[in-house]
Every structure is written in structure tokens, then in C-alpha cells.
Amino acid sequence: MVALLALPVSLGAFISEVKCQPLTGGVEALEFNRRLKRSVPLDNTIAGFIDNSRVPLPESKSHVVGPEVFRAWIEKSQPHLMARLSEFSDDSVVEVAGRWDHADKTLANLGLPYRHLKARQLTAETLASTRILIINCAGELKRDKLQLVRDFVARGGYLLSTDWALDNMLTNTFPGTVAWNKGFNRKPIYEAHYVSPDPVLAPFTVAKAPWKMDQEAHLIKVLDRSRVRVLVSSPSLSLEDPDKEGVLACIFPFGKGYVLHMVGHFDNNARIAVGNFLPDSATDIGISLRQALAANFVAAALKGERPEPR
């Protein structure tokens, strides 16, 4: 993204209004089994998961990674889903346009169905048959749309959000879970460690990989450690993080649904806007770890699979 020096007056006023007026529809009991607290060990008990945690990462370079690589990856990671793909309508995956992230590019590369909407087009009717909602950075939604998102997840929907959507959307929609800690990254690429893999979100991913971040990405503060599970973190980013944690991706349940947020984007996020350049492709899987994680979350939503709780 191109960093903004200040929020527009209208957006700043909107955020102030949202923080003063909590959304309705409180969810008192999270519908998941709190007894399941284990983390899957870093080994190959997960299909296709590669434990490269002891292998030094090579210097990250931009590669041309075409749609055929994305399609080959998802056919290995999600063969049962791809065999059933004709069962899903475009409304099963709804992607809300953002200013900086473009998830539709990656969804198209993966060969997944999706519907691209602008934030103002979101309605209860458009989400009636949706299984996963993707909100691209910067996630600038008005209050009535935030209520729709909250209700959607509470009913069992899955939500994927990226980067600046943390402060502009997620914190206000699900208060008390995660927030922006006012920290920024200083570099474009960090070493990412998949610290909490599970059979739903980790197939055909790796334990360690480069992770591309855009300029002035919003760093995550975990507010509720009993609910929020950190999936991926970065030791090098933790040195720049006000909270010294370097969280890159986290997940939490809400009502009957789940929320996955990533510091970074779902698209290729390359400096060159045209072409298929990918700056952080992971050795052994071809695409990036951030894209593989997000794609597995989309697949989980379509198949009705529930990631392991905190």
C-alpha cells in the first residue's frame, strides 16, 4: 500500500463514532470445545506439511509464479474440494474490494469461485449463501456494514481480513480480541515461523518461509489470549514490535464462525503491479506461506471444517 499520512476527516470521525457506540448482538458463549488446547507438533503428521524449521532460509527473491503453480498447489492441498468445485456458486466466496489488497487475483489464480463487491454493496441478502467473506486492506466499512460482518460470523461465517483492516474494521467489529498496537514494520520481507499448525490450516505449507509486508503495515496486539490463537509470527519483526511478539497471522472463533487476520496481503503484493511476480514464494510449495494459509482457510469455510481452537 502507499502509506497514508493521516486518515481522511470523514473516516476519522466514523472510527470515533464506532468506538463510542458498540455493535449489537453480543456473543456470550463461543461455540467450540475449550478442552482441545493442543498444538500439532512441527512434523509431517499434517498432509504435506514440511518442517524446515532447522534449515536456513535462502535470500528472498522475486519469482514469476503463474496461475498454473497456484492451481497445482491447491490441487495437492485440497483435492476433495477441487473435485466438488462445481457445487459452489460465486456467492460462496465474497470478496470486498479494498484500496491496497486484491484477493481476487489470488482467488482467480487458484481457480476458486468468488464474487467481487464494493463495501456499499454488502447486504444481508448478498451474504445469505456466503460461506467466507474476505475484506481487503484497508477495510474501510461504515458502521452498518460492520454490523453485517459481525452478524455473518456469529451465524457461522468465516472472515478473512488483511493488514489495515485490523484497525479500520476488525477492532471495531470484534472488540476485545485484537487491535493495532500502533507499530509498523521497517522492512518489506521478514522470516515467518508457523508456530501453531493444525490439520485444517497447515496442509502443504512450511514451518518457515519469507513473508512479504507492505509499507507501514499495522502490527497486531493480542487482547484476549484465551480466545486468540497466534498461527504465524516473526522473530525479526518482534524486535520492531511494541509488544515484542511479531504476530503475522492469528485466528479466533466468534459465535459459530471464525476470523483469520493477516499482517500482509492475500495477493502477490509485488512492487511491479503487472505480471505474476511473487516476492516471497516459499521453497517446496511454490506460492507464499501467507497465500497458502489464507487459501486453506477459504477451503475450510467451503468444506465446513473447523480449525482447532485456542
| pLDDT surpassing 70 at residue 114 | yes
Give the Cβ contact number of residue 183 at 10 Å: 21
For the chain, the C-alpha Rg in angstroms (whole number) is 18
| pLDDT surpassing 50 at residue 11 | no
Comparing CA positions, the residue from 192, 172, 190 lying closest to residue 180 is 172
Q: Is 305 exposed, middle or buried (0-12, 13-18, 19+ CB in 10 A)?
A: middle
What is the pTM assigned to this prediction? 0.88
Question: How far apart are the C-alpha atoms of 224 and 30, rounded to whole Å?
Answer: 13
Q: What is the mean pLDDT of residues 14-18?
A: 40
> pLDDT value at position 259?
98
| Residue 223 DSSP class | S
26: confidence class by pLDDT, cuts 50, 70, 90: low
Q: Are 67 and 276 in contact (CB under 8 A)?
A: yes
Close Cβ partners of 57 (under 8 Å, ≥ 6 residues apart) = 191, 208, 209, 210, 283
Comparing CA positions, the residue from 106, 236, 242 lying closest to residue 162 is 106
**Poorest-pLDDT segment among 129-138, 223-232, 238-247, 271-280:** 271-280
Q: Are 44 and 206 in contact (CB under 8 A)?
A: no
Question: How far apart are the C-alpha atoms of 105 and 109, rounded to whole Å?
Answer: 6
What is the SS3 assignment for 111? coil
How confident is the model over 74-109, as pLDDT tens digits? 999 999 999 999 999 999 999 999 999 999 999 999
Tell me which architecture the domain covering 39-303 has in CATH: 3-Layer(aba) Sandwich (3.40)
Give the Cβ contact number of residue 279 at 10 Å: 20
Q: Is 88 exposed, middle or buried (0-12, 13-18, 19+ CB in 10 A)?
A: middle
| pLDDT surpassing 70 at residue 34 | no
Question: How far apart are the C-alpha atoms of 294 and 134, rounded to whole Å?
Answer: 10
How confident is the model over 287-304, as pLDDT tens digits? 999 999 999 999 999 999
| pLDDT surpassing 90 at residue 195 | yes
